Structure 1
Amino acid sequence: MSETTTGRAAAPAAPAPAAPAGPLRVRVRERIQETPDAVSLVLDAELTYRPGQFLTLRIPGGGARCYSLASSPHTGEPMRITVKRVPGGLGSGWVCDTVAEGDELEVLPPAGTFTPGPDGLDGDLLLVAGGSGITPVLSLAKSALAAGRGRIALLYANRDPASVIFRDELDGLAARHPDRLTVVHWLESLRGLPTAARLGGLVAPYADREAWLCGPGPLMDAAETALRSAGAAGARIRRERYFSLGADVFAPAATPTDAPPGAGVDAVAVVQLDGETRTAPWPRRATLLDALLAAGVEAPYSCREGACAACCCRVVEGEVTMVRNEVLDGEDLADGYVLACQAFPLTDRVGVTYG
């Protein structure tokens, strides 16, 4: 499993609330050893975020890693990220071996699209997690129980009992919400690998629910296959995507020396963000994100690689071209959504809106 996690395969119905752009410093209030291989960091930070989002941490020596928030913005609890050690992992090794209570971390604002829209917590949900994939799933479950009305079924796969993260917290949630939360543990030491055939009987009763999958790729593949075989609609299956950041997203972005094929002349960007309208010059060889940041517009972003959708916005006037897109699907593009970190102007005036 990759150390970094971002958004689901498709953009959300509406982008997450915009947060201040650029690095922030937060203090570690508490360090919790969840399992021999997993550590939670409770943070002194009051940042706006949605269930299922992540924080991007600066790693000593350069580079960054993204870790999902296990806390819920609907419960009043402090922000908490949870990190599971990856063999040879630079980021996870640093967190698990070095970060201590009282340390300060440099982070980017919460981001990611593995999160429901404003009305997405009221329906019945099926949550499927494996290993450290429980982190954003726990955030979704706690949020739905606190702020929603639906029923939740959670299937959680691990190697053995010692690797189950948040066991006591999950047991407590199930005890407090016996009519709304059902938790099923799948232990490979007892039941073998969770294949599509083996999961079929467990997920079939919930095939009509919106499903959220997070964990190793083979587990998500098996769960999705089982759900589709049971008649689940593909549009109601959300998957968390895993990737590794290829660059230091905390470093200032370099202006491209060559515009992509088809890019137009220098443009003007008219941006609606946080209830304000701003106008910024947009050089042909700069991405929309870089143009906005250079003009002092605090546009949200995270990976800067077209893979997380944290910078997702909607074009409402003019046209753009993108050089990379690993997140938005055809429907999103048809609705005008673009990734600001990958967008270049095609017209001399482009209007975009966040949220």
Structure 2
Amino acid sequence: MARPPLFRRAKVTRIVKETPDTRTFVLEPHDGPFSYQAGQFCTFKVVVDGKPYFRSYSMSSCPVTDTEFMTTVKRVPGGTVSNWMHDNLGEGDEVELTVPTGRFCLREGDVPVLGFSGGSGITPIISLAKNTLATTGREVRLLCADRDRTSAIFEAALDELAARYPGRLTVARHRDDEHGYVDAAKVLEFVGPHSAGDAYICGPEPFMELVENALPGPGRIFSERFGGATAKPTPPAVGASKSPAVAAGPLAQAASTGASAAAPAQSAATEEGTVTIFLNRKKKSVPRRDGETLLESARRAGLTPPFSCESGNCATCMAKLTEGKATMRVNDALTDDDLDEGYILTCQAIPDTPSVTVRYE
């Protein structure tokens, strides 16, 4: 069965003002409801001044509790796509987006779920919280860090959830203007006796690194990142990506969600073999280079392949490997089904065989 086009169209049916700089966009896909899991995201394509931009935003809705499909976007200084969406999208307008993907989803277990959110990082966290509360008997504890009271996203929604699930949902609010920034002591105080709980973390990079380093263990850690890779290689955290080898055809191994590792230095040495790329009805082939990703090879071939984060997080650069094998350094976006069908993140995939062929759809 042919895979649907990467980008689909959806109508904005409703817009909710969450805070002065945050909006929730309720979307209705043209070709029917999306199938998705709590914690996943879509990558949006927006054309500004004739130039396409790609940004990934998590779903704030939960498929088992919400009848509407929603994403929540915060305006940020210099944010080309977020600011455009705030300033230009109205009810009845249409957007282009991928189907939901991502691996920041609820893992099986019976230990408490510990959610750590910084600012708009609450978006996938609230989706995970709703899913956990509705489908399991697990306790959910959330530490929500915000700049100030007016910046707190979903405050009323979380209060309603806490009232609906007394004794199972605890929400700890941290205001930077009142308490200073979250530090390791605050994280440890919040965790308390629940150190074996599963931790889900999303927010600005400094916030995420602080929480990851402060968690005492032995609980599992799952993080969602949409920014660039870290400045230097770091040891994989619990649940970090295992960089599976990907071949054309079925696969059994898949990566887990975790912190993105920095890319190793690229070598310009040319090896025997050929990288062939199909994109927009064009076919280009270039000699294989040691350590070069398939995305870099496509650029070297003179093509303009789609990409966004270049960190293995957003799936914008996804393509299908139809010949040969490649290893992904990081995969925090593609699902097991995607991998089984032979899809890869070209920004992270390095050929393992002399010749490889990839097709962008």
Q: What's the TM-score, normalizing by structure 1? A: 0.68
Checking the alignment, whether the CA contact within 8 Å between 1:70 and 1:138 is kept in structure 2 is yes
Q: Deviations over 1:34-70 (max 9, x none)?
A: 0101000001131122211111111222212111110
Question: Residues of 2 paired with 1:304 and 1:88: CA distance?
Answer: 16
Residue 283 (structure 1) shift: 6.3
Q: What's the TM-score, normalizing by structure 2? A: 0.67
Residue 227 (structure 1) shift: 1.4
Residue 123 (structure 1) shift: 4.1
Q: Considering Cα pairs closer than 8 Å and 6+ residues apart, tell me whether 1 or 2 has the greater RCO.
A: 1
Residue 320 (structure 1) shift: 2.8
2:146 to 145, 158, 161: 158
Question: Residues of 2 paired with 1:236 and 1:31: CA distance?
Answer: 35
1:202 to 159, 178, 190: 190
Whether 2:62 is the aligned partner of 1:72: answer yes
Checking the alignment, whether the CA contact within 8 Å between 1:74 and 1:146 is kept in structure 2 is yes
Partner of 1:89: 79
- Work out the number of aligned pairs and report it: 286
2:223 to 239, 253, 274: 239
Instruction: Tell me the SS of whatever aligns to 1:110.
Output: coil
- Unpaired segments ≥5 residues, structure 2: 230-266, 277-282, 297-305, 333-339
1:40 to 13, 16, 24: 24
- 1:226-305 correspondence runs (5 A): 226-228=214-216, 232-233=217-218, 236-243=220-227, 265=273, 303=308, 305=310
Residue 220 (structure 1) shift: 2.0
Residues 220/264 of structure 1: CA separation in 2 closer, same or farther (3 Å cut): same
Residue identity in the other structure for 1:320: A
Residues 145/314 of structure 1: CA separation in 2 closer, same or farther (3 Å cut): farther
Residue 146 (structure 1) shift: 1.5
Partner of 1:341: 346
Residues 224/143 of structure 1: CA separation in 2 closer, same or farther (3 Å cut): same
Partner of 2:11: 27
Residue identity in the other structure for 2:27: L
Residue identity in the other structure for 2:70: R
Question: Residues of 2 paired with 1:126 and 1:262: CA distance?
Answer: 47
- 1:324-339 correspondence runs (5 A): 325-327=329-331, 339=344
Residues 126/58 of structure 1: CA separation in 2 closer, same or farther (3 Å cut): same
Residues 226/289 of structure 1: CA separation in 2 closer, same or farther (3 Å cut): closer
Residue 110 (structure 1) shift: 1.4
Question: Residues of 2 paired with 1:318 and 1:141: CA distance?
Answer: 40
Instruction: Tell me the SS of whatever aligns to 2:84.
Output: helix
Question: Residues of 1 paired with 2:134 and 2:357: CA distance?
Answer: 37
Identity %: 38
Partner of 1:250: none
Partner of 1:106: 96
Residue 308 (structure 1) shift: 1.4
Question: Residues of 2 paired with 1:40 and 1:285: CA distance?
Answer: 46
Checking the alignment, whether the CA contact within 8 Å between 1:54 and 1:66 is kept in structure 2 is yes
- Unpaired segments ≥5 residues, structure 1: 1-17, 246-258, 269-280, 291-300, 329-335
2:207 to 215, 219, 244: 219
Checking the alignment, whether the CA contact within 8 Å between 2:272 and 2:287 is kept in structure 1 is no
